[in-house]
Amino acid sequence: MRADADEVHCDSLSGTELGSPALSVRPSARPKAPARSVQLAGWLLASLLVGGALLAHWRSEPEPQVSGALHVDGRSLSYSEGFAARAGIRTLEVREASFLPVVSASGKTAFDPEAVASVDAHALGTVRKVVKYEGENVRQGEVLAEIGSPGLARIEAASFLRARSAAGPSPSRVLGVSFVRSPLSGTVVERRVVTGQSVKGERVVFVVANLDRLLLDVDVDAREARALRAGDRVELERDTAAGPIHGEVAQVGDGGSSDASLVGPLVVRVGVDNRARRLRPGQAVSARIFASTGARALVIPTRAVAWIAGSPAVFVESGHNALKASSVTLGCGNGELTEVSAGLAAGQRIVSEGVGVLKDESFL
């Protein structure tokens, strides 16, 4: 049956209108829809544009403080409540207070120069007998050794003959023997001769010292030494000691000068009661010197000090959850408290807890 020329038909597969002038089109030749990759590219471009706009807006706004955030600008720090809680930050007000410093130092024990003696042979000859040895106690005037001296024997023989001819026979005795005697009571700490050894008169053959009292010279910074006086209590410690050994300050510098212009280290001499023989000369010990006199000073907890680039500093409160790392000059300390001589004023607030976390996480 023939279709009318004006009648329009539609291909059921492609949807192409069929009329008299057009023939049916094969399904494989129909127009294609836009590729899916093109749509995805459009979406990606739009997302990038929107993301760029949001980033620009975010940078233009102040950065919000999120939980656990710490922000550093030079030596200025700000932090969130979350960070404060995590770091355990606590602050306190700096005040003046009465302060007795404790000075720490170390050194080696030595003989008291007024209680040690080097003993010469006093004769040219040979050691006949050693009477005292190292570690033995001696009394003043006691014989340490005997030295046989031919020269002394000749002199004594001539003197003996003259005396005999003038006064008659005298008791016999050994001639030419020189006795080396201790000039003080103490302990033989050195013996430098043996029996049969030849010696000269000026040679040191023994060293005798009174070990009941030893001395300890320690170097103390002049700022700390100004707080010390003769008679101040001292505790000495050594690795093998069961407890502290007590002593006292004998002298500060050239006599305890408190001149504020002094700088650098001063020698503080400590006297130690060693009757119990708990120390030996030349032994390394650490000392804690307790000042007996003090004054009012600006003091802070020692734990509040942070060392930044090798110098002491504290974190000073500059606003709500805001701090500034300020350099300070330290004076004396007593372990728990430290004097601040410059860089802080009474009434300022500083961080007393959480200093380690602030120092580590700020990379100062």
User: What is the predicted pLDDT for the residue at 50?
Assistant: 64
Domains of the chain, residue spans: 70-101+296-362, 106-111+212-222+229-292, 114-209
Name the 3-class secondary structure at 298. strand
CB contact set of 33 (below 8 Å; sequence gap of 6+): none
Token code pair at residue 271: 């006297």
Query: Comparing 70-101+296-362 with 106-111+212-222+229-292, is the CATH topology the same?
Result: no
What is the chain's mean pLDDT, rounded? 82
Task: Quickly state the pLDDT bin for 6 (edges 50, 70, 90).
Answer: very low
**Among candidate residues 269, 266, 252, 264, the one with its CA nearest the CA of residue 217:** 269
pTM equals 0.63
* b/e sequence 138-161, b meaning 16+ C-beta within 10 Å: beeeeebbbbbbeebbeebeeeee
Percent of the chain with pLDDT over 70: 74
Query: What was the pLDDT predicted at 201?
Result: 84
pLDDT in tens, 98-151: 889 999 999 999 999 999 999 999 888 999 999 999 999 999 999 999 998 887
Is CATH 3.40.190.10 what the domain over 70-101+296-362 is classified as, yes or no?
A: no
Fold designation for 106-111+212-222+229-292: Elongation Factor Tu (Ef-tu); domain 3 (2.40.30)
Sign of CA dihedral 23, 24, 28, 32: positive
Q: Which class is domain 114-209? A: mainly beta
With 0-12 / 13-18 / 19 or more C-beta atoms within 10 angstroms meaning exposed / middle / buried, residue 32 is exposed
